[in-house]
Amino acid sequence: MKTRILFLFLYCSVGNWACPIAVHGQTYTYNAEKDIQYYMMDKKDIKKLPVGPVGQTYVSSDEKVATIKGNSIKAVAYGDCVIYAVADGRQSVFARVTVDWQVQNPILPYSWEMYVPDTEAHNFDGKIYVYGSLDIEYNGRFCSPYYISLMTPDLKRWESHGYSYTAFDEGNPYPGKILWDSDGNYYNGKYLLYGFYEADYTI
């Protein structure tokens, strides 16, 4: 699956940091290795999964929590499980599913190990999308070169469809650099993702 996304990265000249303003556009290709899906579901919820390559099937790690029927997940009982995509004798993690998580602060299940600070929320087509950077241990710091986007139709059931952008993506002008908080918008028929690279204090 390919999606045309325009990334607008802003750099300023304030205090110790200075970089040029740049616009970066690219075609994003789904990568199963990094685009693990995350789903919060209520008991008896059914979530349709994408149709994969010919011969691909899905398998649940715990059918007491969620089962697979065809290309759909059915939530069964409270807990967490992993959904694997199986094809050509290979098995890879496709999604993590949490059933009957009681929404609180933070809204995301602890099992997702996903800390998303400095978020921005927008309503697109009746759904709430939240954009932010993903804080994990990276090069001795609790920041990362990854952006993540969350979506909810009802402020209760949340989903993450993997990284919305990474500093390792093809065409990135600063590979591996830490990304600061992001934001999204819709303008003139395009969905925009705004991002900031970390300041270079050596300048």
- pLDDT of the chain, 203 residues: tens digit per residue: 333 344 444 433 333 332 322 333 333 344 444 578 999 999 999 999 988 788 889 999 999 999 999 889 999 999 999 999 999 889 999 999 999 987 766 688 888 888 888 888 999 999 999 998 988 888 888 889 999 999 999 988 899 988 989 999 888 888 899 998 888 888 999 988 888 888 764 43
Given this model, what pLDDT does residue 203 score?
36
88, 81, 59, 82: which is closest to 71 by C-alpha? 59
Which residue is associated with the tokens 């090069």? 139
* pTM confidence score: 0.64
Given this model, what pLDDT does residue 27 score?
38
Given this model, what pLDDT does residue 34 score?
57
Given this model, what pLDDT does residue 82 score?
96
Rounded CA-CA distance 120/132 in Å is 7
Given this model, what pLDDT does residue 3 score?
39
Q: Measuring CA to CA, how many Å separate 75 from each of 53, 60, 89, 162, 194?
A: 24, 11, 26, 21, 35
Pick the CATH number of 43-99 from 3.40.50.300, 3.20.19.10, 3.40.50.920, 2.60.40.1080: 2.60.40.1080
Neighbouring CB atoms inside 10 A of 85's CB total 19
All structural domains of the chain with their residue ranges: 2-35+101-197, 43-99
